[in-house]
Structure 1
Amino acid sequence: MSSVRSARPERSRVRWLTLGLIVALIVINYIDRSAVSYAVDPLTKAFGISKSQYGYVSSAFSIGYMVFAFLAGPLVDRYGARRVLLLGVALWSVVTAVTPVSGTFIGLFVARVVLGAGEGPGFPAATRTVSRWLPQKERGRALAMVGGVAVAGSLLIGGPVVTQLIAGLGWRGMFWVLAGLGALWFAVAYALLRNTPDEHPRVSAAEHAHIAEGQLEEERSARVHVQWRPVLTSRNLWIIAVGYFAWGFMFWGFMYWLPEYLSSQYDLSITAVGLFTVAPWAAGVIGALVGGVITDKAFSRTGSPRTRFTIMGVALLLSGAALIPIFTAPSLTVSVTFISIGVGLGFVTGGIWWVAAIDAVPAQPGVAAGFADASFALSGVVAPSVMGFIVSSTGSFSSGFVVMTVLAVIGAGSLLILPKRERRHELPPTRREPDLAPNPH
């Protein structure tokens, strides 16, 4: 037995190093974008802006994010994820550094638009990287790590980290530390990140074969010519966009307004707010992990992409229903508990949007992911402004929670009823390229 094992080609693990870089990118990305929500009071006082103007500032990020998430898809598919990601990280790190000195409402608004533009390519590039670096059977959990665990985890640690940075270095110093994290990721990724396994010198033949045998033929190219017709005519991709908008409204609403809601509604200090915001995002980490495992198991059992829609639809429906107690019988305990349940159930879908987008247009994962991400970003434009308008006009968050629930029901219904039946995915038996070693399994 030992001689057989020693004769087996050694499989490297570079794909997991690559995934780790992407997860780290998303963590920094989300801490950067959410940091402003913890600096609302000192920032609004320093710049002389109102709470409703802060709602517009929050939406400003998503304007840049929406446009460049959509544009980044074709760029990623044409030029590769590495180049686009490095440019994006360089841009957003510079903007994060200048945010504390932007000075006025207009300056802050423009800074947030440019920050969104820099962070927009993140998920389209991450989705293409996963589709080129991982076989289908490993993508559910991988994209749950990227789109769920990394996002929720960043917000989980972001609250305590950012509030402690504000307490220790001031709100301006907090932004400068976050800019330094982006610069550090740039340096590491420049040395280690590659577009495909073919481009990485440390990928063994055995790992190369393992990745290749779990890919569709159209997923093996490093770069493709962008074709818009398959993207814009994909019914399932439009359904994904509707569902992602619905979940996004809840996500962005809580990301930008949860600290202010807890602070104003229950008179909590900034450090207490940082601690209470841990629970929803901790639930999000758990939900994302559960969603990734369920997705991979359901796909391996059925081979049907339709299972992704069923899981997302049920999770989104339950997520919306979980918010009902918050606006019918509010209290600090009820609010934190049921927001956590709602966010946790919503994050069950966290990585599945990207897997479903790859399923819908496998030849152009960057474009498909950019299309879905643009819908998510659109909800990021709408949700903070709508929540800001509701709070300013009513003095309460209740109507905002009602809107979240209604949209969740609409999105869930679309995902459960409307998807087109796609072909089952049969994994190719082996790769035929002569330069690859035979699969050891």
Structure 2
Amino acid sequence: MYKQKKERRTRARYGVLALVFINVIINYMDRSNISVAATSMGKDLALSSVQVGLIFSAFGWAYSALQIPGGWMVDRFGPRVMYAVSLCTWSLATLFQGFTKGFAGLFGLRLATGAFEAPAFPTNNRIVTSWFPDNERASAVAMYTSGQFVGLAFLTPVLATIQHYTGWRGLFIITGIIGIVWSLIWYLVYRDPDKSRKVNKEELSYIEQGGGLVNPKGKENQEKEKLKWSDLKETLSHRKLWGIYLGQFAVNSTLWFFLTWFPTYLVEYRGLDFIKSGFLASLPFLAAFVGVLISGFVSDYMAKRGVSMGVARKTPIITGLLLSIAIIGANYVDNTAMIIFFMTIAFFGNGLASITWSLVSQIAPQRLVGLTGGVFNFIGSLASIIVPIAIGYLAKGGNFAPALVFIGVLALFGALSYILLVGKVERIAEKGDGGKRPNLSHHA
């Protein structure tokens, strides 16, 4: 008798990861286009530095406020629908920014952009948790997170060039149209693993046996449940979760400096011309792209070699946060190359620290992955409100040095939160689970 040849495992999860990567590029393009437009827009609309800071922060007000509802909606409606709706609506808000006449209209549309982007990263986390086993998850998170850096690295000079030829209004219109088109493509192509025709049983089994939540227990009933206060309380009652929440605030503080004030810092406070600053601004983003890839692949390599998940995940994050403190060094140099050097080291560190979502995937209670991701992103996203406004006030006298010290201190705070608060990396068992990790070795 001949043994039946075992079917080779498909690799559909990598195609899904490529789709998420593009989503993240568009997501960050529409967050950061305001920073490219800021100088010209500010002059045309006669905006003060404090008003510019408020506009920069407007995105964060709505984005942060809707993280928890956004995470819950991902759990209820699933990634396919939520991402399509989110992409289309935030892209429409981006497009309409090209038609604004003053501070109020622009502020309102940035609020709308933040509101509609709110489900995006909880959705990314839900997708990777469903499609990837534990020992590949940091690499997967690194790959899609790198989209924010590689997109910005290459898009910053492109966006500056688009603005040069079409004006800041044309910049918003063009970037908005791109997102609307992609939202339709996403809806037509993406499927969850248990509904995808591109994945075979061998790959599904590999993902699930490795800890991926291919078909979470009670998923059908879960998606019909209403949001419970007890669920929210659960996500706020664990010290290790607070460790990653506070650490994410620190990681996002450095990120939001680069997403908002960095081009303005180079042009207005360091005297570079706009086109040149667009190309120089791309260097720290390239460094962050390299950093996040190194972080993800080294972390997974360590995990596969038997190093504890705590060491494998936390070491790159803590190292990266400590490197981000180098941003303060720019205060002590006047040479353009040295300024960019310190900025590049700081953002490389931010890239190293950006695999934080892998810890959400591995620590969150199984039933509450989306909601935990929402809380995580809510607290982290408070940086998108606080940092742009704080910098606007710190720099209003014409001296940017206090703002860079502020960013460096927050990075140190984040490193300490991971060192002192996050303990053993393991999935939190809800009350009634018997303190055991859920059995993921079979379909529910």
Any conservation in 2 of the 1:310–1:416 contact (CA below 8 Å)?
Answer: no
- 2:269 is matched with 265
Seen in structure 2, the aligned counterparts of structure 1 residues 114 and 45 have a Cα distance that, compared at 3 Å, is same
Seen in structure 2, the aligned counterparts of structure 1 residues 16 and 275 have a Cα distance that, compared at 3 Å, is same
- 1:252 is matched with 256
Q: Distance in 2 between matches of 1:368 and 1:280?
A: 30
- 2:321 is matched with 316
Instruction: Give the drift of 1:209.
Output: 1.6
Match of 2:203 among 196, 207, 210: 207
Any conservation in 2 of the 1:276–1:336 contact (CA below 8 Å)?
Answer: yes
Amino acid at match of 2:193: P
- 2:134 is matched with 136
Any conservation in 1 of the 2:294–2:352 contact (CA below 8 Å)?
Answer: yes
Any conservation in 2 of the 1:218–1:362 contact (CA below 8 Å)?
Answer: no
Q: Distance in 1 between matches of 2:423 and 2:292?
A: 25
Amino acid at match of 1:187: L
Q: Distance in 1 between matches of 2:350 and 2:73?
A: 30
Is 1:170 matched with 2:167?
A: yes
- 1:413 is matched with 416
1:375-427 residue CA offsets vs partner (Å, 9 max, x unmatched): 221001011111111111x3121101111111111211121122233448999
Any conservation in 2 of the 1:69–1:371 contact (CA below 8 Å)?
Answer: yes
- 1:274 is matched with 278
Alignment TM-score, normalising by the size of structure 2: 0.90
Secondary structure of the 1:349 match is: helix
Seen in structure 2, the aligned counterparts of structure 1 residues 13 and 427 have a Cα distance that, compared at 3 Å, is farther
Is 1:152 matched with 2:157?
A: no
Q: Distance in 2 between matches of 1:105 and 1:430?
A: 52
Secondary structure of the 2:356 match is: helix
Q: Distance in 1 between matches of 2:28 and 2:14?
A: 21
Q: Distance in 2 between matches of 1:19 and 1:427?
A: 26
Q: Distance in 1 between matches of 2:365 and 2:415?
A: 24
Instruction: Give the drift of 1:297.
Output: 2.0
Instruction: Give the drift of 1:281.
Output: 0.2
Seen in structure 2, the aligned counterparts of structure 1 residues 190 and 424 have a Cα distance that, compared at 3 Å, is closer
Secondary structure of the 2:353 match is: coil
Match of 1:82 among 80, 83, 88: 80
Seen in structure 2, the aligned counterparts of structure 1 residues 210 and 422 have a Cα distance that, compared at 3 Å, is closer
Any conservation in 1 of the 2:194–2:214 contact (CA below 8 Å)?
Answer: no
Q: Distance in 1 between matches of 2:375 and 2:185?
A: 29
Alignment TM-score, normalising by the size of structure 1: 0.91
Instruction: Give the drift of 1:214.
Output: 1.1
Any conservation in 2 of the 1:214–1:427 contact (CA below 8 Å)?
Answer: no
Seen in structure 2, the aligned counterparts of structure 1 residues 266 and 87 have a Cα distance that, compared at 3 Å, is same
Q: Which runs of structure 2 are paired with 1:422-437 in the superposition (5 Å)?
A: 422-423=425-426, 431-433=441-443
- 1:389 is matched with 393
Instruction: Give the drift of 1:58.
Output: 0.4
Match of 2:64 among 63, 66, 69: 66
Note the residue ranges of structure 2 that are not aligned, 5 or more in a row.
429-435
- 1:304 is matched with 309
Any conservation in 2 of the 1:305–1:424 contact (CA below 8 Å)?
Answer: no
Q: After alignment, is 123-132 or 149-158 more displaced?
A: 149-158
Any conservation in 2 of the 1:305–1:359 contact (CA below 8 Å)?
Answer: no
Q: Distance in 1 between matches of 2:95 and 2:110?
A: 12
Match of 1:31 among 14, 29, 32: 29
Secondary structure of the 1:348 match is: helix
Q: Distance in 2 between matches of 1:108 and 1:184?
A: 23
- 1:439 is matched with none
Q: Distance in 1 between matches of 2:142 and 2:55?
A: 29
Is 1:356 matched with 2:352?
A: no
Q: Distance in 2 between matches of 1:430 and 1:308?
A: 21
Seen in structure 2, the aligned counterparts of structure 1 residues 330 and 323 have a Cα distance that, compared at 3 Å, is farther
Q: Distance in 2 between matches of 1:139 and 1:95?
A: 32
Instruction: Give the drift of 1:278.
Output: 1.1
Q: Distance in 1 between matches of 2:392 and 2:423?
A: 37
- 1:437 is matched with none
Identical amino acids, percent of aligned pairs: 28
Q: Distance in 2 between matches of 1:349 and 1:400?
A: 21
Any conservation in 1 of the 2:213–2:440 contact (CA below 8 Å)?
Answer: no
Is 1:238 matched with 2:250?
A: no
- 1:123 is matched with 121
Q: Distance in 2 between matches of 1:409 and 1:299?
A: 26
- 2:431 is matched with none
Amino acid at match of 1:186: S
Q: After alignment, is 166-175 or 396-405 more displaced?
A: 166-175
Seen in structure 2, the aligned counterparts of structure 1 residues 174 and 9 have a Cα distance that, compared at 3 Å, is same
1:93-140 residue CA offsets vs partner (Å, 9 max, x unmatched): 111111011211111100000000111111000000000011111111
Q: Distance in 2 between matches of 1:233 and 1:87?
A: 32
Any conservation in 2 of the 1:316–1:411 contact (CA below 8 Å)?
Answer: yes
Any conservation in 2 of the 1:70–1:367 contact (CA below 8 Å)?
Answer: yes
1:2-41 residue CA offsets vs partner (Å, 9 max, x unmatched): x99x933032222111111111001001011100111112
Any conservation in 2 of the 1:60–1:112 contact (CA below 8 Å)?
Answer: yes
Secondary structure of the 2:253 match is: helix
Give the total of aligned pairs: 426
Amino acid at match of 1:207: E
Q: Distance in 1 between matches of 2:212 and 2:189?
A: 26
Instruction: Give the drift of 1:219.
Output: 6.9
Instruction: Give the drift of 1:199.
Output: 1.2
